[in-house]
Amino acid sequence: MNMNNNLPTPYKYFFILLFLGFANFLLAQDLTLLDFNTERLKINQMAMTVLGGWAIGNLASGALLTGQKTGKAKYFHQMNIGWGAINLGIAGFAYYGAVKTDPSSFDLLSSFKEQEKITRILLFNAGLDIGYIMGGAYLRERAKTTTNNPDRLAGFGESIMLQGAFLLVFDLAVFWVHHQHGKDLHPLIGGLSFNGSGVSWRVVF
């Protein structure tokens, strides 16, 4: 039996309007999610462009100056070349991933997870950056008390401190940008609730 045929005409119109309103809500939400994820991927592209530029600068200056310098300055630029190569590889891989990712492939839950993941990674990296700075400082201090090629220890230490300081500023800046951008997701996840077995979504009209 088709219960819909037994409904009075005004109720039929009400449910039709309700359905259309909900459909428009979902469409607006999809467009908002698409915009949100598109912007998130653009932020990643921008960040990797900055990191790649820093890496290329280190590679170029290191290649140019390593042969011209002596003492700890020579080792300073040698270490910069190593960091430049690693950072360029990371930046290139991450940039390619951001370009190839389809922003429309994320639903509400996956958008939330991606946003949380990137901010956690950036904060974790910031902690590592502090460790790099401390490690570089240790090498520089160790150079003052050793007779086993102190210039190399001092040069490597100062390079690691520089790279760590740059990465710390970089990671915190990118974290702040993503954190600010993540606020655009808050209205959409306001109806999400988590329990031990899954996720539910409550829509408030």
pLDDT value of residue 185: 78
Closest CA to 142 of 129, 161, 166: 161
Please state, as a whole number, how many other Cβ atoms lie within 10 Å of the Cβ of residue 58: 25
For 112-153, what is each residue's pLDDT tens digit? 899 999 999 999 999 999 999 999 999 999 999 988 899 999
User: Can you say how many angstroms the Cα of residue 131 is from the centroid of all Cα atoms in its chain?
Assistant: 20
- Spatial neighbors of 172 by CB under 8 A, at least 6 apart, are 122, 126
For 13-42, what is each residue's pLDDT tens digit? 444 554 444 444 444 444 488 889 999 999
Among 78-82, 138-142, 171-175, 200-204, the minimum mean pLDDT is found in 200-204
The amino acid present at 84, given as its one-letter code, is G
For the packed helices 150-182 and 108-142, what is the interaxial angle rounded to 10 degrees?
Answer: 160
pTM of the complete model: 0.76
What is the residue-averaged pLDDT of the chain? Answer: 83
Burial class (CB in 10 A: 0-12, 13-18, 19+), 78: middle
